[in-house]
Amino acid sequence: MTIHDKTFESKFAVVGRSVKRSDTLEKVTGTACYAGDVALPGMLHGKTKRSTVAHAIIKRIDVSKALALKGVKAVLTHENVPRVLHYGSPHPRSASVTRDQYILDNRVRYWGEGVAAVAAISEEIAEEALDLIEVEYEPLPAVFTIEDAMRDGAPVIHDNGLPQNQVLPPVIVERGDVEKGFADADFVIEGEYELGRPTPAYMEPNICVAQWDGNGKLTFWSSTQTAFMVRGALAEVLGIPLNKVRVLVDHMGGGFGAKQDLFQHEFLCALLARETNRPVRMEFTRKETFLGGRTRHPGRIWLKQGFRKDGTITAREAKVLFNSGAYGSHGPGVTNVGTAALTSLYRCENVRLEGRCIYTNAPIAGAFRGYGVVQTYYALDLQMDEAAEKLGFDPAEFKLKNAVREGDIAPSNHPIVGHGLEDCIRRGMEETGWPAVRRHGRDTGVKRRGWGIGCEMHGSSAYPGIKEQGNAIVKMNEDGTVTLLTGTAGLGTGAHTALSQIVAEELGVPFETISVVQGDTDVVPWDIGAFASHTTYMGGRAAQIAAADVRRQVLAHAAPQLGATPEELTIRDGVIVVEGSNRSMTLAEAVAPQRGMPAIQLVGVGTYTPTKSYSFAAHFVEVEVDTETGEIRVLQVIPVHEIGKVIHPIAAQGQIEGGIQQGIGHTLSEDYVIDHQTGRSLNAGFVDYKMPLSMDMPPIRTIILETAPDPGGPYGAKGVGEDPIIAIGPAIANAVYDAIGVRFRRYPITPEHVLAALRTKKQEVA
Amino acid sequence: MKRFEYHEPASLEEASRLLAELGATAQVLAGGTDLLVEIREHLRPVTHVVNIKRIPGLRDFACDDAQGLRVGALITAREVETSPQVARLFPNLVSAVGQLGSIQVRNRATVVGNICRASPSADTLPPLIADGARLSVFNGNGERSIALEEFFTGPGRTVLRPGEIVTGISVPPPGAHSGRAYIKHGRRKAMELATVGVAVTLEREAGHCREIRIALGAVAPTPIRAREAEALLRGEAFTPERVAAVAEAAMTESTPISNVRASAEYRREMVGVLTRRAITLAMEAIQ
């Protein structure tokens, strides 16, 4: 259930209503086209051979037996692919990503890295051929933890000139005078927080299909959040101009940030297709989505804060250490964003933060919903809860007192425009009956309950790390219907529905008259990709601007027909009316071709360069802990979100519920584990990587406020994609403390951790 | 998926002959929910698949107070789960099959298949063992009967000889004043393998325990009976101290391993907690 607060009578016709999503019919009837549905005449199947060592030089690689297998058409190794150093995630001129990958290298840096690729007439033959490729490795010492990788004499994983296997120079953020802040403190608290390794585990495994035409042009279907970035990387690495690469992506089965990266197979697929002169399809198995996929950055956070007796924060110091795995991917971006996030959420003038990201021979960490902030706010919010207790405050009151306000300097170094964290906390307290619901460890039975609160804020758009830009083209057809051309990706979030609503609203036409053209780099305007919670905020604003342009053209065209000036005209539900008169005509009448006059050209172009807005949330959670088995059950969640103007309430609610489900998994069970002797993955599959399913989900009562719209977003809309996964974790950990009086400075919190901690507590009491 | 030869015998004799001739890389297909995944994931070398679904007579399914339960080799987990008769007499088994995979899986998977897969963590095994189930096995000439608890020799391994096919399973009717329970410990509610499974079936007589059978899953290479624990309660009163001692003994009898699902220590501790809880549940279930 959504309680969707109406602070004012809606002045909108389409925006703010849960219209039937534009992708509903094709998805429920199975006609929606995913990259995996592409089947071309003569298509071959490609497979990647993956390393069985974590760190080694390839001494010898022999593909003769594989090539001799009937049905095998081509085999690629580091010996016959172009050696071009490229970005793992190609954001243009961005400091967020690293340039440290080759298509195939003569060296492997993690267990599961691709070392060769085969194209064959069937998947089965390609798989069989992989087993026939002989690889002789010369092992190198491997390191899997941050500690080992930073130690003197550790193997150098990438020779980038930085010591201690650092991916980037340390990120240092300083505001005010932290020494003075601690000197002014009545109370100082510090703690170390340990971060597990969740993976995005998107429903649709990575997949691409490559086809070259006779003019040397590559058509490339791929499940990617960043079609234009894929186009750029393919062109750069393959040495062809952009007009010779066309990237297509219609629907996607999720990405959660990770599908901004390139995963080796994109290049391999294109090269296999070129070599064989036939289309080639490469699809990851579920196991490969773990082995060759991306995870959230694991690591460790040391955090220290000083407080005055009245609860004011006087100083905050943090050392953030992220494990990047074998390649940098989004390490710089995640380290910057995650570290800088600690400047805010709870107000503090004196801050010194240090963030480091370290190469190891572990699986690659990349971009993942919450982008470093999941990690750092977990630490911050848990410590605030602890400090509240030590200072004698209720945690919600304490967080409310310290909550970020309008005008505070955001992590992006801009004053916050429109805030809402206070509203979220207050509303959640009302809804739950806080603080009466709290248990304070009172329960004495086997199963004990508790309530917790967790807070978050998150930016829409990656500014200032990336100077972003959203584009849109809106065309009105000669019957008054409308076509929106957008480069924003359809991850499954309902973004194209939201964009269509915005266009319909701006033009004053029914939602059903809008159709969307998406995901074709040859057709739609350039797009930076779907990430950073910015699609509706930025792409939506661009669509609004383009629609406003068409509206202006239409009214200019209609005005003489109605004997009025354009300023006197309004479009409502597809009808142009002269305000204050009974004169009107339909849009179709206004723009229809007349005898002797062809259809008029009505095309609007919108470009929007955003700065940043922040969304806010407070999650209230009730848990039950079984003190004999250590199991933690989430009984209910009340998430309160401030996301500006809501374009599609049900889709927004879906984002929030999905984020909570993913966040519950991260906090309680999801951890991709590797063997620290060999680097081999121990749970590369859904048998032992456990995400909560629908049956595990507690009731969620979502409350969306609309109290702090952002002037930068369409109709005041802000992002919602990443927010819900950030607040749920600390809310659960804090609720567990309320239930059993144990603070877990880590995730996931497994039943074994709970039992061990209860045992320790019992011994301490004794 | 690796290529395999597919066979569709029309009789048990034909199936048995095929399996005997083709050897260890020939596998029986009933529900296929384990087999096909294992072929696909290269977990089991299979060159021949013998589909037994065309064979008549493997769909027996009866449950009553007089005869107990009889489940043919082609009866699905979902059929057992949704049977009111089974729910009345063997709620422990219904609990177990109801936690096997997902509804989609249970609509295909067979109970006998779950047994023959011989996974130490299989959900149906502990309650069936605790209830004294027996298997009917066709061996080319006729049938032999094997007690379920003697069926397993290791993970994925059974006493079946080449050419033998399990045709069904039978469970004796519940004794008077008996109660039964199965508790699965997993990391989530569906699509989950048991970290520990504990089944207890007991009979009460004048406030004492007349008979008790405790079966443990996922804490040894095969499902096991906790016989020493049972002996501590047999003929004794159900005092909390006595039950605690039984739980302790069951922990000692288990020999779990550590893996990514749980440590051996945790599994052993759960054997204790769940044995105690299962005894209580079984007591409460006595009519």
Task: Check if the beta carbon of residue B215 is closer than 8 Å to that of residue B199.
Answer: yes
pLDDT band (50, 70, 90) for residue A12: very high
- The pLDDT of B12-38, averaged and rounded, is 95
The predicted-structure confidence for A664-690, as pLDDT tens digits, reads as follows 999 999 999 999 999 999 999 999 999
Residue B84: CB atoms within 10 A of its CB come to 9
Q: What is the CATH number of domain B61-171?
A: 3.30.465.10
Specify the pLDDT at position A192: 98
The tokens for B78 are 């979902």
Q: Which residues of B touch A755 (CB under 8 A)?
A: 266, 269
- Residue B260: band (very low, low, confident or very high) from pLDDT cuts 50, 70, 90: very high
Spell out where A461-602 has E strands.
470-476, 482-486, 514-518, 569-572, 575-578, 584-586
Determine, for residues A755 and B187 on separate chains, whether the beta-carbon distance falls below 8 Å.
no
What's the mean pLDDT in B202-230? 97
- Ordered by where they begin, the domains of chain A are 2-32+469-608 (3.30.365.10), 398-456+614-766 (3.30.365.10)
Asked if pLDDT for residue A445 goes beyond 70, the answer is: yes
- Average pLDDT over every residue of A161-176: 97
pLDDT at residue B41, rounded to an integer = 86
Res A476 pLDDT > 80: yes
Does the structural domain B5-51 have CATH classification 3.30.43.10? yes
**Does residue B187 belong to the interface with chain A, where contact is any CB pair within 8 Å?**
yes
For residue A609, count other CB atoms closer than 10 A to its CB.
14
The reply to whether residue A693 touches residue B270, judged by beta carbons under 8 angstroms, is no
CB contact under 8 Å between B188 and A669, yes or no, is: yes
Residue B228 pLDDT level (bands cut at 50, 70, 90): very high
Strand partners for A86: A101
CB-based contacts of A551-557 (< 8 A; 24+ apart in sequence): A551/A506, A551/A507, A551/A508, A551/A604, A552/A604, A553/A476, A553/A602, A553/A604, A554/A476, A554/A507, A554/A587, A554/A590, A554/A591, A554/A602, A557/A590, A557/A591, A557/A600, A557/A602
Average pLDDT estimate for A480-500 = 94
B101: which chain A residues are within 8 Å (Cβ-Cβ)? none
Interface residues from chain A to B (CB-CB < 8 Å): 124, 127, 287, 628-630, 669, 673, 682-683, 686-688, 690, 692-693, 695-696, 751-752, 755
What's the pLDDT tens digit per position in A711-766?
A: 899 999 999 999 999 999 999 999 999 999 999 999 999 999 999 999 999 999 88
**Confidence at B130, pLDDT banded by 50, 70, 90:** very high
pLDDT above 90 as % of chain A: 91
Band of the pLDDT at A90, cuts 50, 70, 90?
confident
pLDDT score recorded for residue A707: 87
Is pLDDT of A6 > 80? no
Residues 6+ apart with CB under 8 A from A728: A454, A619, A621, A637, A639, A659, A660, A663, A664, A667
pLDDT of residue A88: 82
Q: What is the mean pLDDT of residues A267-284?
A: 98
- Closest CB from A628, A688, A695 relative to B261: A688
* 3-state class percentages of chain A: helix first, strand second, coil last, to nearest 5: 30, 25, 45
- State the Cα–Cα distance between residues A404 and A412, nearest whole angstrom: 14
Give residue A211's pLDDT: 98
Within chain B, all domains assigned CATH 3.30.465.10 are found at 61-171
pLDDT at A7 over 70: no
Q: pLDDT at residue B1 above 80?
A: no
Residue B105 in contact with partner chain A when CB distance is under 8 A: no
| Cα A700 versus chain centre, distance | 22
- Domain(s) of CATH 3.30.390.50: residues in chain B: 178-285
Q: How confident is the model at residue B287 (pLDDT cuts 50, 70, 90)?
A: confident
The answer on pLDDT for A1 being more than 70 is no
Q: How far is CA A37 from CA A57, A263, A281, A337, A488, in A?
A: 37, 20, 10, 36, 21
CATH 3.30.43.10 residue ranges in chain B? 5-51
CA A443, CA A94: separation in Å to the nearest integer? Answer: 52
Residue A93 — very low, low, confident or very high, per pLDDT cuts 50/70/90?
low
A625, β-bridge pairs: A448, A632
Find the farthest-apart pair of alpha carbons in chain A and give their distance in angstroms, rounded: 97
Of B188, B191, B263, which has the smallest distance from its Cβ to A752's Cβ?
A: B263
Q: pLDDT digit string (tens) for A342-399?
A: 999 999 999 999 999 999 999 999 999 999 999 999 999 999 999 999 999 999 999 9
CA distance B104 to chain A (A): 14
Give the residue from A666, A667, A695, A749 with the most B CB atoms within 10 Å of its CB, the best one to mutate. A695
Report yes or no: B43 at the A interface, CB cutoff 8 Å.
no
- Please answer yes or no on whether A690 and B190 come within 8 Å at the CB atom: no
Give residue A96's pLDDT: 81
Q: Do A696 and B188 touch (CB under 8 A)?
A: yes
Task: Indicate the average pLDDT of chain A.
Answer: 95
Q: Report the residue of chain B nearest A674, measured CA to CA.
A: B260
Mean pLDDT, all residues of chain B: 96
Query: Under a CB-based contact definition with an 8 Å cutoff, are residues A177 and A362 in contact?
Result: no
Tell me the pLDDT tens digit for each residue of A535-569.
999 999 999 999 999 999 999 999 999 999 999 99
CATH topology of domain B178-285: Enolase-like; domain 1 (3.30.390)
Contact A72, A147 (CB under 8 A): no
- At B62, the pLDDT band (50, 70, 90 cuts) reads very high
What ranges make up the beta strands (E) of A609-737? 613-626, 632-642, 702-705
Kindly report, residue by residue over B261-276, the tens digit of the pLDDT.
999 999 999 999 999 9
Minimal-distance CA residue of chain A relative to B192: A687
Confidence of residue A8 (pLDDT cuts 50, 70, 90): very low
Over range A91-96, report the average pLDDT.
72
CB within 8 Å: B190 and A693:
yes
pLDDT band at A418 (very low <50, low <70, confident <90, very high): confident
Q: Residue B191: which of A628, A693, A752 has the nearest Cβ?
A: A693
Residue A2 has pLDDT above 70, yes or no: no
Nearest CA to CA, how far is A754 from chain B (Å)?
Answer: 11
- Residue A130: what are its φ and ψ, rounded to 5°? -60, -40
At residue B42, the pLDDT reads 86
Contact A693 B188 (CB under 8 A): yes
pLDDT of residue A462: 84
The label of the residue with tokens 């980038």 reads A160
Q: Between B146 and A610, name the one with better pLDDT.
A: B146
Q: Tokens at residue B279, please?
A: 């005894």
Among residues A519, A527, A40, A489, which one has the least CA distance to residue A247? A519
pLDDT confidence band for A15 (50 / 70 / 90): very high
What does DSSP assign to residue B161?
P
In this prediction, residue A318 has a pLDDT band, given cuts at 50, 70 and 90, of very high
**Phi, then psi, of A246 in degrees rounded to 5:** -120, 120
For residue A127, what is the enclosing H or E element? helix A123-132
Pick from B2, B190, B273: which is nearest to A124 by CB?
A: B2
Q: Which amino acid is at A205?
A: P
Nearest-CA distance A398 → chain B (Å): 34
Residues composing chain B: 287
Cα of first residue to Cα of last residue in chain A, in angstroms, is 46
Q: Which single residue is written with the structure tokens 């585990």? A: A201
User: What value does the mean pLDDT take over residues A640-669?
Assistant: 97
Q: Contact A686/B263, CB-based, under 8 Å? A: no
Who among B41, B189, B262 is closest to A696 (CB)?
B189
- Nearest 5°: CA angle at A419, between A417 and A424? 165
